[in-house]
Amino acid sequence: MNDISLVDLIQSGGVLRDIEGSAPKDVLDCMIQHIHLPCSLTTDVLLQAVLERENLMATSIGGGIAIPHPRNPLLSEKNEQFVAIAFLKQPVEWQALDGVPVQQVMLLVSSSARAHLHSLSRLHFLCQEEAFRSLLANQASREEIIRAVGVIEKGWGEKAAL
């Protein structure tokens, strides 16, 4: 499987801090305005697609984390895909099943349905890792996050090889 790694996706999307907003729509709008998007994607198109998905079902996964994403791929090139991680200035009610307001958002944008499902699944598993959740809770640096994700992904590869 020659899929792009979460490390590569995060390096492409970056880590954003002090993202403002009092509702998911506001947070997503602010976040998208701060992301360096590929030329093939506008902020308006991305925001509309993410909000359409959010209207179907909230993308909060519990533990103060949300993983918003468009329902359908918006990018044509694999190397344009990204995950942007945002630390919010204040917690936001995001209809989480556990009732915990969201403080960290990971926006996933993919180039194909296959890549989207693969990356979304890996992000969800990543968020189950205590070490990663601790980094998010402590608003770790971009470098610390990327290093930790690399170690976790390497461990997944080793488990898969067994």
Query: What CA–CA distance (Å, rounded) separates 57 from 113?
Result: 18
Question: Any bridge partners for residue 102, and if so which?
Answer: 92
In angstroms, the Cα distances linking 24 to 46, 54, 70, 79, 104 are 14, 9, 14, 27, 11
Is 146 inside any structural domain?
A: yes
Q: What pLDDT score was predicted for residue 141?
A: 96
Is 29 inside any structural domain?
A: yes
Q: What pLDDT score was predicted for residue 4?
A: 83
Task: Give the model confidence (pLDDT) of 49-61 as tens digits.
Answer: 999 999 999 999 9
Task: Give long-range contacts, CB 8 A cutoff, 24+ apart: 51-60.
Answer: 51/25, 54/24, 54/25, 54/28, 58/24, 58/94, 58/95, 58/96, 59/94, 60/94, 60/95, 60/96, 60/97, 60/102
Query: What CA–CA distance (Å, rounded) separates 38 from 2?
Result: 22
Task: Give the model confidence (pLDDT) of 113-148 as tens digits.
Answer: 999 999 999 999 999 999 999 999 999 999 999 999
Q: What pLDDT score was predicted for residue 1?
A: 42
DSSP class per residue in 63-88: TTEE----SS---S-GGG-EEEEEEE
State the pTM of this model.
0.94
Task: Give the model confidence (pLDDT) of 69-122 as tens digits.
Answer: 999 999 989 999 999 999 999 999 999 999 999 999 999 999 999 999 999 999
Is 1 inside any structural domain?
A: no
Question: Any bridge partners for residue 108, and if so which?
Answer: 83
| Beta carbons within 8 Å of 87's beta carbon, 6+ residues apart | 15, 16, 17, 18, 19, 103, 104, 136, 139
Is 50 inside any structural domain?
A: yes
Is 69 inside any structural domain?
A: yes
Range of the domain at 76: 6-161
Is 104 inside any structural domain?
A: yes
Give the total number of structural domains in the chain.
1
The domain spanning residue 83 has which CATH number? 3.40.930.10
